[in-house]
Structure 1
Amino acid sequence: MSCGNHHDVPCIEIRPLIVLFIDNEISDAHQADIVEIHFGECPPCKVEMERESQSILLMRDLLTRCCNEPAPTSLHERLIEQTQQLHQEMTMRTEITYTESTYTEITVDGQTQIEITSKIRREFPLE
């Protein structure tokens, strides 16, 4: 794929960037400009980019149509059931335990002091 004309950036260096250019994934604005200029100067590369762009659009459309199905009713029912069961288990517990741990590291004059603390608190909910 080359039009036979001299370009600042050869076609062989532009080809791997075509999909990145289409998806706006070239993070370097200067490089994106170089690719865009190349497409303006090189009809074969521009045609290749347009074909690739069309293929990507068709693939995305196909995936959207094929993979956009609602979840089965049985899945919704199981999720509701499991959520209700978990809620019941949580409200039936006789104690709630909170654990808090901290880690502090202080370096002064080349000496490091480490302090680790842990607090455990239990609460018994009123029923």
Structure 2
Amino acid sequence: MSCGNHHETPCDDVLDHLYEYLDNEMGEGDCAKLRQHLDECSPCLDMYGLEAAIKALVKRSCCDTAPADLRGKVLARIDRIRAGLPVEGDVLAEPAPAATE
């Protein structure tokens, strides 16, 4: 998407990183560039508003928390991955040696 006007940061770049901005996952320099673009570009500002509204709606609608046993399994899996240990179902894990008869 492009609004047809020249901006220091192109519209496509802004829209590609919109969720990083919404989730506060951008560095301050990138945030400043994105904010400046939104101040200058009403189509991108409209898209930002739409995405922010969708994100808020999803947050309101998803109020359930994961069951404790599922949470424990996920955290254990993360710990194994961080430790460099094989994880069941891991497609990147070394294949088990073939059984010899």
Q: TM-score range with shorter-chain normalisation?
A: 0.5 to 0.7
Q: Which residue in 2 is equivalent to 1:29?
A: 28
Query: What do you get for the CA RMSD once the two structures are aligned?
Result: 1.9
Deviation at 1:4, TM superposition (A): 1.2
Provide the identity percentage.
Answer: 30
CA distance in 2: counterparts of 1:33 and 1:10, whole angstroms: 14
* TM-score, normalising length: structure 1: 0.49
SS at match of 1:13: helix
Quote the Cα distance in structure 2 between the aligned partners of 1:2 and 1:45: 9
Specify every segment of 5 or more residues in structure 2 that has no aligned partner in the other structure, as ranges. 69-101
Alignment of 1:25-64 (within 5 A): 25-26=25-26, 28-64=27-63
CA distance in 1, matches of 2:43, 2:30: 19
Give the residue type in structure 2 aligned to 1:3: C
Can you list the C-alpha shifts for 1:29-77, whole angstroms capped at 9, x where unaligned?
Answer: 111100000000110011001100000000010001xx15xx9xxxxxx
Partner of 1:13: 13
- Runs (4+) of structure 1 exceeding 3 A deviation are none
Q: Secondary structure at the match of 1:6?
A: coil
Q: Secondary structure at the match of 1:30?
A: helix
Q: TM-score, normalised by structure 2?
A: 0.61
Structure 2: how far apart are the matches of 1:45 and 1:63?
27
Larger radius of gyration: 1
